[in-house]
């Protein structure tokens, strides 16, 4: 027992050894929450307070679930499969497999991933002759998933407008199609499981009695229905151990409700709230910046990260002339780090949106620097893999019309749209699946039916990997991609699918003994649930590029947070909404706390967006950081000269233009930053102009803005300023009261 609890700090030890009561563990970034969670499970088992079957542990990714199992088996000699450990979707899938009849599902129901679901939505719209411009398929898909995540069926929705009423009708039609085909989407897994427990009190009591300890990781990311599911499973006498960090709740766009943490404290009358504040990842200056930033958010549960590692290096801040300049500087800085012995794989470039990666990638490619875009298409989401899986789905369930439509004419077999329409009409008339209707159609459809019949026979005699290999060959997928000029990677992926089947046989998921499932059906469920990994460049020491959202849960020795400009980060869609701005601030907090040793923050005066050069204010988040923890690599108030360099032409660190300054002095002092005629490289608007383009100013009415253009002379001179939310304004210098943005 002593070994189990060794090396835990006081707060961690207190959390691990809590009595069997509800508890909320407020785990700061880098505070060892996974260790606390797994050690808590091991301690409960080792002390005999509960058996493996009495524990339910919920994570948000398959990777986290696997890591938890690995740690547990290293701590104790036990079969971790007896513990229900998995994602919400994975655990609900397990429950529905065991009770499919009570849930109204076929034993071999298939799971639709996001793309499969979109295809199913499109088929509903076509069948009902719905205008997909008025009701875009992705919007309908979002509407359905959002309703399900709120625990609402179509019949329960409020429909105050004709549009809402039509959307509810489409939701109902989609549900009926899924029922007929025996398929469920991700949101349906949770909703159907919740409805099953609600409708079957005896079954609900069974699970409430079974699971005496419920442990939930990343509790801040739970949505409304997930929280209700946990509440339903937590019976009298059960103890819910919720671990999370409200400061890292960044998935509102996926339905995550940061308010669930406060609701948990209220609803469960939580007697135990423990804050894990000692950070084992980052140095002090990084944590000082993170703490100072996040404390500006309201309604936090509150915590203060600290470390025993020392203050470390200050956080480096740099202003670039342009996005290209920013990218080139990053390339040079990374080269310098690599020369000093840093591994590229331990360096991350973070950005707010995927669109920002283009300039970075271009600079890295031109420099010949290896890089990897993290979070690209996952293995099971690649088109060639989805084609192969569709064949396998149709083998397992011939009634799966979505799978049928995906592969009936891929690779091309000369089965045109008219033939498909006739087939769909015949299937509707007979009330049967497309595959069943195709058996009576003849022609090229008959050849496809014969192929599928043969593959179904193969499935009875072949091992799973052999079946997968047979499908890729007999379906002509391999031949199709071999004929493509750039098909080599797709061929490699199809071959890797065989390896995935072999790996699956070596470690199949746990299933209840009373719910037997064929290996093929289990493999297909695994493929739908599996998060997948980026396979590109394995073994290469490559720089890591990713969005801040993708970086959640990761850590690196050095982190560059790029594009820190108003409208970009924080994003323009959130800046005017308090809740949106607070989530953006949490996102920035997550970005900074990914760094172990060195943190860089960068922004640009100009950025090419949507084909236009944009001028932005630097992000407010930079101005919310403590001065003592920062090291500015460029002048604090922009790429302009210091007092000494400008020969006294500038006051207040270079913000206020004085008449005794001259353009010549400016050129000499600032190495040509002011040179008359402004372009995207950071030069001024016109000789003798009182303000520099890109300079930040303040206006009594419109607030802070950045100069984007200047024209005219003397009393006719005017300046154009981007005031963010207030928009672009032309102001006459003769009457405008403009003040340079002051130092902090």
Cα separation, 327 vs 333, in Å, equals: 10
Q: Which residues contact 431 (CB under 8 A, 6 or more apart)?
A: none
Alpha-helical runs (H) found in 234-283: 260-267
CA gyration radius for the chain? 30
What's the N-to-C CA distance of the chain in angstroms? 53
Query: Which of 248, 307, 356, 695 is flagged as catalytic?
Result: 248
Cα separation, 145 vs 186, in Å, equals: 9
Q: Residue 534: which of 386, 371, 360, 406 has the closest Cα? A: 371
Q: Residue 618's beta-bridge partner residues?
A: 565
Residue 727: how many other CB atoms lie within 10 Å: 10
Integer angstrom CA distances of residue 148 from 59, 153, 675: 20, 7, 60
Query: Which of 113, 116, 181, 217 is flagged as catalytic?
Result: 217
Query: Which of 218, 246, 396, 704 is flagged as catalytic?
Result: 218
DSSP state of 639: S
**Residue 594 bears catalytic tag:** yes
Query: Which of 11, 33, 352, 598 is flagged as catalytic?
Result: 33
For 149, how many CA atoms within 13 A lie in the half-sphere containing its CB? 19
For 19, how many CA atoms within 13 A lie in the half-sphere containing its CB? 5
Task: Region of 679 please: left (phi>0), alpha (psi -120 to 50) or beta.
Answer: beta
Task: Region of 712 please: left (phi>0), alpha (psi -120 to 50) or beta.
Answer: left
Cα separation, 431 vs 743, in Å, equals: 73
**Residue 33 bears catalytic tag:** yes
**Residue 218 bears catalytic tag:** yes
**Residue 217 bears catalytic tag:** yes
Q: Residue 260: which of 277, 274, 243, 272 has the closest Cα? A: 243
> CA 620, 625, 631 angle in degrees (round to 5)?
110
CA 576 to chain centre: 23
Report CA dihedral (356, 361, 363, 368) to the nearest 10 degrees: 170
Cα separation, 602 vs 633, in Å, equals: 10
DSSP state of 32: -
> CA 377, 379, 383 angle in degrees (round to 5)?
75
**Residue 248 bears catalytic tag:** yes
250, 587 contact by CB (below 8 A): yes
| Preceding peptide of 570 cis, ω within 30° | yes
534, 378 contact by CB (below 8 A): yes
The helix/strand/coil state of 627 is helix
Residue 104: how many other CB atoms lie within 10 Å: 13
Query: Which of 594, 607, 618, 640 is flagged as catalytic?
Result: 594
Q: Residue 18: which of 1, 35, 36, 6 has the closest Cα? A: 36
Q: Which residue has the tokens 């009415």?
A: 701
Q: What is the 3-state secondary structure (H, E, C) of 48-101?
A: CCCCHHHEEEEECCHHHHHHHHHHHHHHCCCCHHHCEEEEHHHHHHHHHHHCCC
Cα separation, 118 vs 702, in Å, equals: 44
Q: Residue 556's beta-bridge partner residues?
A: 595
Cα separation, 682 vs 672, in Å, equals: 10
Q: Residue 318's beta-bridge partner residues?
A: 602
Catalytic residues: 33-34, 217-218, 248, 594
């Amino acid at each position: 027992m002593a070994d189990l609890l060794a090396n835990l700090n006081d707060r961690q030890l207190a959390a691990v050894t809590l009595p069997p009561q509800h508890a909320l563990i407020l785990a700061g970034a880098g505070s060892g929450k996974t260790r606390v969670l797994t050690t808590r499970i091991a301690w409960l088992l080792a002390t005999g307070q509960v058996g493996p079957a009495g524990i339910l542990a919920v994570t948000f990714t398959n990777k986290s679930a696997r890591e938890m199992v690995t740690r547990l088996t290293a701590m104790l000699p036990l079969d971790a499969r007896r513990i229900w450990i998995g994602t919400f979707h994975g655990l609900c899938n397990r429950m529905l497999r065991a009770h499919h009849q009570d849930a109204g599902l076929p034993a071999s129901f298939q799971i639709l991933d996001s793309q499969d679901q979109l295809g199913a939505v499109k088929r509903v719209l076509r069948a009902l002759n719905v205008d997909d411009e008025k009701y875009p398929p992705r919007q309908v898909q979002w509407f359905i998933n959002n309703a399900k995540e709120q625990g609402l069926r179509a019949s329960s929705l409020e429909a105050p407008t004709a549009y809402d009423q039509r959307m509810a009708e489409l939701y109902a039609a989609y549900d009926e199609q899924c029922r007929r085909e025996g398929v469920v989407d991700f949101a349906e897994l949770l909703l159907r499981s919740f409805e099953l427990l609600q409708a079957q009190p005896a079954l609900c009591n069974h699970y409430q009695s079974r699971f005496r300890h419920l442990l939930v990781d990343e509790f801040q990311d739970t949505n409304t229905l997930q929280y209700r599911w946990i509440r339903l499973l937590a019976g009298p006498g059960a103890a819910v151990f919720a671990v999370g960090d409200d400061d890292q709740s960044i998935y509102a766009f996926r339905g995550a409700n940061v308010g669930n943490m406060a609701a948990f404290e209220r609803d469960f009358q939580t007697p135990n709230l423990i804050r894990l504040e000692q950070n084992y990842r980052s140095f002090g200056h990084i944590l000082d910046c993170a703490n100072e930033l996040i404390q500006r958010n309201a309604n936090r549960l509150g915590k203060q990260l600290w470390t025993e590692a020392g203050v470390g290096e200050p956080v480096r801040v740099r202003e670039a002339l342009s996005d290209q300049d920013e990218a080139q500087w990053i390339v040079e800085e990374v080269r310098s780090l690599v020369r000093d012995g840093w591994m590229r794989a331990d360096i991350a470039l973070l950005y707010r949106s995927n669109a920002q990666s283009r300039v970075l990638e271009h600079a890295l490619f031109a420099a010949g620097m290896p890089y990897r875009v993290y979070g690209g298409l996952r293995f099971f989401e690649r088109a060639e893999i989805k084609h192969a899986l569709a064949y396998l789905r149709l083998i397992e369930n011939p009634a799966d019309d979505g799978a049928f439509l995906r592969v009936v004419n891929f690779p091309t077999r000369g089965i045109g749209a008219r033939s498909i329409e006739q087939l769909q009409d015949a299937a509707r008339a007979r009330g049967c699946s497309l595959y069943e209707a195709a058996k009576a159609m003849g022609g090229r459809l008959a050849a496809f039916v014969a192929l599928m019949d043969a593959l179904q026979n193969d499935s009875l005699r072949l091992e799973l990997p052999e079946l997968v290999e047979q499908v890729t060959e007999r379906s002509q997928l391999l031949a199709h991609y071999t004929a493509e000029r750039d098909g080599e990677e797709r061929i490699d992926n199809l071959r890797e699918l065989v390896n995935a089947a072999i790996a699956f046989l070596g470690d199949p998921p746990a299933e209840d003994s009373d719910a037997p499932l064929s290996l093929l059906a289990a493999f297909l469920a695994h493929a739908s649930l599996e998060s997948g990994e980026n396979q590109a460049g394995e073994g290469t020491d490559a720089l890591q590029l990713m969005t801040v959202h993708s970086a959640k849960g990761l850590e690196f020795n050095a982190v560059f947070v790029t594009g820190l400009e108003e409208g970009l980060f924080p994003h323009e869609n959130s800046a005017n909404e308090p809740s949106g701005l607070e989530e953006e601030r949490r996102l920035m907090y997550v970005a900074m706390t990914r760094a172990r040793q060195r943190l860089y923050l960068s922004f640009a005066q100009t950025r090419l967006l949507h084909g236009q050069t944009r001028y932005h204010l630097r992000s407010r988040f930079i101005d919310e950081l403590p001065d003592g923890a920062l090291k500015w690599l460029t002048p604090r108030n922009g790429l302009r000269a210091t007092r000494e360099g400008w020969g006294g032409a500038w006051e207040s660190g270079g913000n206020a233009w004085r008449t005794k300054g001259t353009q010549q002095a400016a050129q000499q002092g600032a190495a040509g930053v002011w040179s008359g005629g402004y372009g995207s490289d950071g030069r001024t608007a016109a000789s003798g102009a009182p303000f520099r383009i890109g300079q930040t100013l303040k206006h009594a009415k419109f607030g802070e803005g950045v100069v984007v253009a200047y024209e005219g002379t003397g009393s006719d001179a005017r300046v154009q300023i981007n005031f963010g939310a207030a928009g672009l304004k032309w102001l006459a210098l003769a009457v405008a009261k403009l003040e340079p943005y002051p130092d902090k």
